Amino acid sequence: MSHPPSPDAARLAPGTRVHLADGVRRYGPRLLAGGAPWRLVRLSVGAVRAIHEWQGGAPLRAPQVALARRLVDEGLLDCEYPVRLEPADVDVIVPVRDDPRVEGLLGALSGLFVTLVDDASVDADAVAGLAARHGASLVRLETNLGPGAARNAGLAATSRPLVWFLDADLALEDAHGVLARLARHLADERVGAVAPRVLGPPGRSARERFEWLSSPLDQGSRSGAVRPGAPISYVPAACLLVRRRAIGEGFTTALRVGEDVDLVWRLADEGWIVRYDARVRVAHPARDTWADWLAQRVAYGASAAALASRHGSRVAPLRLNASALGVWSFALSGRVGAAITTGARVRARVARSLGPESAHAGALTARGLLEGFGANARSGLRHFPYVIAAALLARRTRRAALVVLVAGLAQRWRARRPRPLDVGLGLLDDTAYAVGLLVGARRERTLAHLRPTLRRAPAART
């Protein structure tokens, strides 16, 4: 992988329209809170004036370029680039292994430069016939190497500056429109990759409905920057547009599952920005059978150990803020007075760090406590067999475990209308994932992916 151009070399063009990123909030005129990872920024008088102009719809002016560049890099601003994509700049790479659904995708990709990578299909002639009928180039692998290695084979066989990776079973009603909307993000030379929201297509079966409501590939309704430890920590490679020079030789071939997470994190380590655009949506179906569906979830859980071997604590199941941990520990154990006292101390510390803006300390403290608890409750539900086991072993933690699991269910299904069957399938999904965690631990001989991490809250900075 190569490094992105420096912020000075990749200056945002005057005339670009910028706006506050999803989830970023203003507290009074001078404080911005949000970004990836979360941060609190105190704005100068000039920055306050610039943001007021941008929120009013004014385009970026030349004196504001450096400020906008910094806020974009920190995930506090998003840009809208009026860029026209040239199809000649894009190679589309689709790995496939005996999946007839790829024909529908190839039809939607008409007019683009498509390379179909046959990952050792049993019926190689059928795949070759599909490629010929739709004018796609064909790369044949004699041994099944998995999706990452297959994508790399397509990468090696092509040369255009942008590469669009697509799963063979992806449903694209307007492929050209999706590509054009994603490619706008790459007008920023520091953006190395961008992905849309991936949802399950609505269907009649229980599996299809669950996938539509709670697909493991769905990263939510908020767009934003993608980084380890951020609210959006990864994006799947089911639909991923990348800059060729950013990804080098591509995916780690040692991983058959989780290779997309590894790629995104390595891009972030090199300094590239990865974007998630929730306004662009594509459909990815559920597995065909219950056995395949459960096996997929187990594989996802097993990949956590392999990722932990490469990326350490970034795979931690819980990312705890030291101050929030104290408040919630007291509250969940029934010591309400101690929780209130600890919360008041946290608020006082926040107020001291804010100085003239100390009036916002209460709102910021509450937001930090609630958002941190919500995210960790969802993670606790994902690991619920271990939460229950801990509660059974220690009577004092049973109430806390129950609260965490109920909060996790609420976090998972907020803004949705699940049926009891959907909730049951969610617990089955989490159980299969938890089994996979043990499978991965045995395979990699590590428990690093099960250890929580403790961190301190960032202080406000100018």
pLDDT, tens digit, 9 for 90 and up, residues 252-301: 999 999 999 999 999 999 999 999 999 999 999 989 899 999 999 999 99
pLDDT at 458: 55
Confidence of residue 98 (pLDDT cuts 50, 70, 90): very high
pLDDT at 457: 57
Check residues 333 and 217 and name the one with the higher pLDDT: 217
For residues 363 and 263, membership in a common domain is answered with: no
Q: What is the DSSP letter of 435?
A: H
Determine contact, residues 252/221, Cβ cutoff 8 Å.
no
Helical spans, DSSP H, in 355-397:
361-382, 384-393
Domain encompassing residue 23: 17-80
Confidence of residue 461 (pLDDT cuts 50, 70, 90): low
Alpha carbon 181 to chain centroid, angstroms: 18
pLDDT at 462 over 70: no
Question: What does the pLDDT average to over 12-35?
Answer: 88
The single-letter code of the amino acid at 456 is: R
In a domain, 51, yes or no: yes
Helical spans, DSSP H, in 74-200:
102-108, 124-133, 147-156, 175-183
Determine contact, residues 153/139, Cβ cutoff 8 Å.
yes
For residues 53 and 159, membership in a common domain is answered with: no
Domain termination site, one of 80, 110, 126 = 80
For residues 332 and 394, membership in a common domain is answered with: yes
Place of tokens 């680039």: 81
For residues 97 and 69, membership in a common domain is answered with: no
For residues 328 and 441, membership in a common domain is answered with: yes
Question: What does the pLDDT average to over 357-379?
Answer: 83
Nearby residues of 128 by Cβ (< 8 Å), 6 or more positions away: 118, 138, 140
Say if strands 113-119 and 90-96 run parallel, antiparallel, or are unpaired: parallel
Give the 3-state secondary structure of residue 138: strand
In a domain, 106, yes or no: yes
For residues 373 and 412, membership in a common domain is answered with: yes
Domain termination site, one of 80, 100, 134 = 80
In a domain, 299, yes or no: no
Average pLDDT, rounded, for the chain: 89
Q: By percentage, how much of the chain surpasses pLDDT 70?
A: 97
pLDDT at 4 over 70: yes
As a whole number of Å, the end-to-end CA separation of the chain is 32
For residues 363 and 403, membership in a common domain is answered with: yes
pLDDT at 337 over 70: yes
For residues 71 and 162, membership in a common domain is answered with: no
Check residues 339 and 395 and name the one with the higher pLDDT: 339
Determine contact, residues 163/247, Cβ cutoff 8 Å.
yes
pLDDT at 351 over 80: yes
Partners of 194 in beta bridges: 241, 275
Residue 204 vs residues 100, 126, 157, 211, 269: alpha-carbon distances, Å: 21, 30, 40, 11, 42
pLDDT tens-digit readout, 102-116: 999 999 999 999 999
Confidence of residue 37 (pLDDT cuts 50, 70, 90): confident
pLDDT at 424: 92
Using alpha carbons, select from 78, 74, 136 the residue that is nearest to residue 103: 136
How many domains does the structure of the chain reveal?
Answer: 3
Which of 165-169, 178-182, 228-232 shows the lowest per-residue confidence on average (mean pLDDT)? 228-232
| φ, ψ for residue 302, nearest 5 deg | -65, -30
In a domain, 296, yes or no: no
In a domain, 38, yes or no: yes
SS3 readout for 273-319: EEEEEEEEEEECCCCCCHHHHHHHHHHHHHHHHHHHHHHHHHHCCCE
Confidence of residue 448 (pLDDT cuts 50, 70, 90): confident
For residues 125 and 182, membership in a common domain is answered with: yes
For residues 202 and 91, membership in a common domain is answered with: yes
In a domain, 240, yes or no: yes
In a domain, 295, yes or no: no
pLDDT at 266: 95
CATH number at residue 254: 3.90.550.10
pLDDT at 23: 87
Determine contact, residues 61/14, Cβ cutoff 8 Å.
yes
For residues 345 and 253, membership in a common domain is answered with: no
pLDDT at 49: 94
